[in-house]
Amino acid sequence: MSKKLSLAIEDLHVTYPLTGAAGKNKVARAVDGVDLQVFVGETLALVGESGSGKTSMANAIMRLIDPSAGKIMIDGVDVVPLQGKELRAMRRNFQMIFQDPFESLDPRQRVIETVMEPLAIHGIGESEAERREMALAALSQAGLRPAAEIGERFTHQLSGGQRQRVAIASAIILKPSLIIADEPVSMLDVSLRAGILRVMADLRDQLGVSYLFITHDLSLAWMFADRIAVIYLGRIVEEASAVDLIANPMHPYTKALVSVIPVPEVTSLEDRTILTGEIPSPASIPSGCRFHPRCPLFRELGEPAKCLTEDPVLHIQSNAESHRVACFFSDNKGNQ
Amino acid sequence: MSLLEIRDLHISYPNPKGEFFAVDGVDLSIEKGEFVGLAGESGCGKTTLALSIPRLLPQQSRISAGSINFNGVDTTSLDEEGMRAFRWKEISVIFQGALNALNPVHTIGSQITEPIRIHDASVSKKEAHERTLELLEAVGIPSRRSEDFPHQFSGGMRQRVMIAMALSCMPKLVIADEPITALDVMTQAQILDLLRSLCDRYSLSMLLISHDLSVLAQTCDRVAVMYAGKMAEQGPTSKVFGYEGARHPYTQRLLSAYPNIKHERKFIDGIPGYPPDLSQEQLGCRFSDRCDVALGKCATEIPQLIDIGSGQSVACHLVNEGGAGLQ
């Protein structure tokens, strides 16, 4: 691997203590041993259902919560042990775009103040005037033009799409190498999504920003990302190039997810695999392969003991080195 | 005769300058047993249109013209008392956001039993209870959970409770307002399949509101697309999403705003600009500002919804002139 890593996560664990009737001294394992790499200039989509641990991962990377174990290397530096000043200095390099632009911006601040704030915190720019210039440039880059005019508005005067662009401008003002985008377009009308994603794609192409793009929407991940990692109950179950993962899903969970992606045309509903039940609680992760209680392949193969007792690790699939799957039987069955 | 026939419906809300029309001359019909999808961006008037059928609109709204003919009765002429005979018994609603629509301090069973008893005094407590258990099983919830409270259920399960509630009085028409919006993909597929099968099983008619055209494509018999208070296009799903496809430029743009994994990968398109401000007077086609194939007259003449054959109708000057609208 000669490519440079922007983000390298090693054996990350995030746990939450349980209280009350759920049991003392027990924990919910929201992220349960994840390895993940994002190369410089690359977009990796992390796809999972709610409760799969994807937002816990984002929060751990942003150091909004403390992981219980593991390393989070950003540009080669493990940010987990960093505290105080060191962490603040490092924070310039990784920024986050949140899902809800109605909650993530201060309604009493002018747009320009919102975008300039990180510069002042990090002591960037010689003067107020210089910081203002930089903020205007960022607004313009985020597609908010004329920047000078929009900059004077209050964030509550903006539409959802414009707010999300302000959030993008605030995220890029420090010129980070990595941006964590947690469902950045899911709250927006469909007609506005393309505009926001286009701005993000331009930043990737022009500034070489790397993205960890977190979403529940596989088709959006396919469209936007270079690679996709599918997370189930705190563990990556499959990882491949975006095109390969959708064209040739190997893990039974991914197969089912891909089969139910709605497309805007009339298609046969026969080939879909609809999983029954719901994702279990991270407080009671099933034994063996955590997906076995819902797995159609497990039942098809007559409930092999291996799935009940052994925990499958992510391994390279025979057909392509970049395609990795955590399933004992993904190779020999179910790929017709 | 159709089960529901809405003709030239106008619904207005007051604003400081007078009033504006959220629904501005809309026709829509639903046959018995038909599954109809209603699509459009937020603010296009789809929820206002749908909630006018059981007349659950905010108080300041006004139905200023048009008719809503349900099973032979023009419900716009009914008073509140008359309307009560229709609500839930004939027309029920599955609301968006199941957590907010359920009462947290009552068991789910009692919330399903309640409308049965209110709307039909002849049903005994025992019968109502039995029907509740049956409904729970029908929507995929074990009947032993009828004594549980809403917070003990997941989002998907709560939406199933909402569906059971909507079916409690055996209505003829169910209106589902974005029933799957906050749910995961797999749960969405489960709920849509459930709605479809319940429709067949009880010969229900269904009006499914969604901003997501791809969801409607896979579920509905027919789709209607609204834009800025007017109907832009409607037709059988097989037509609108089929070979010749959508003909209205708005529907076409909306369709290309979704990734389609069945085709080659390409970046999705947006629709530049914003829907018009309905408090201003609208001349011409409401989409003309954002339309890249608009003609001169699009800015001045309002296009009528015209039948173009096979049950598909389109409100676009280009399509009416025969030349355009092809993809």
pLDDT tens for B45-80 read 999 999 999 999 988 999 999 999 999 999 999 999
Contacts of A269 in chain B (CB under 8 A): 218
Mean pLDDT along residues B80-95 = 91
Which one-letter DSSP state was computed for residue A312? P
Q: Do B186 and A258 touch (CB under 8 A)?
A: no
Amino acid residing at A326 = A
Q: What is the pLDDT of residue A96?
A: 93
- Is 50 exceeded by the pLDDT of residue B326? no
Mean pLDDT score across all residues of chain B? 91
Q: Do A49 and B237 touch (CB under 8 A)?
A: no
CA distances A278 to A34, A50, B165, B183, B185, Å, are 21, 10, 22, 11, 11
Q: Using an 8 Å Cβ cutoff, are A62 and A291 in contact? A: no
- Is 70 exceeded by the pLDDT of residue B131? yes
CA–CA gap between residue B311 and residue A109 (Å, rounded): 52
- Is 70 exceeded by the pLDDT of residue A195? yes
Q: What is the pLDDT of residue B184?
A: 85
Q: Do B184 and A219 touch (CB under 8 A)?
A: no
Pairing status of strand B35-39 against strand B205-209:
parallel
- Quickly state the pLDDT bin for A1 (edges 50, 70, 90): very low
Mean pLDDT along residues B70-97 = 91
Question: With 0-12 CB in 10 A as exposed, 13-18 as middle and 19+ as buried, what is B8?
Answer: exposed
Q: What is the pLDDT of residue A334?
A: 41
3-class SS of residue B160: helix
- Is 60 exceeded by the pLDDT of residue A302? yes
Q: Which among B157, B186, B241 has the least Cβ separation from residue A275?
A: B186
Q: Do B270 and A263 touch (CB under 8 A)?
A: no
- Is 90 exceeded by the pLDDT of residue A320? no
- Is 50 exceeded by the pLDDT of residue B325? no
Quote the strand ranges of A242-333, DSSP E: 315-317, 320-325
A222 vs B: CB within 8 A: yes
- Is 90 exceeded by the pLDDT of residue A25? no
Question: With 0-12 CB in 10 A as exposed, 13-18 as middle and 19+ as buried, what is B285?
Answer: buried
A159 vs B: CB within 8 A: yes
Which ranges in A18-159 belong to alpha helices (H)?
54-61, 84-91, 111-121, 128-141, 147-151
Q: What is the pLDDT of residue A261?
A: 93
Closest CA to B55 of B21, B20, B84: B84
CA–CA gap between residue A158 and residue B217 (Å, rounded): 32
**ipTM tops 0.85:** yes
Contacts of B181 in chain A (CB under 8 A): none
H or E stretch at B263: none
User: Between A302 and B19, where is the model more confident?
Assistant: A302
Mean pLDDT along residues A133-154 = 94
Q: What is the pLDDT of residue B43?
A: 86
3-class SS of residue B145: helix
Q: Do B257 and A258 touch (CB under 8 A)?
A: no
Mean pLDDT along residues A237-259 = 96
A244 vs B: CB within 8 A: no
Peptide bond into A101 cis (omega under 30): no
CA–CA gap between residue A31 and residue A13 (Å, rounded): 5
- Is 60 exceeded by the pLDDT of residue A336? no
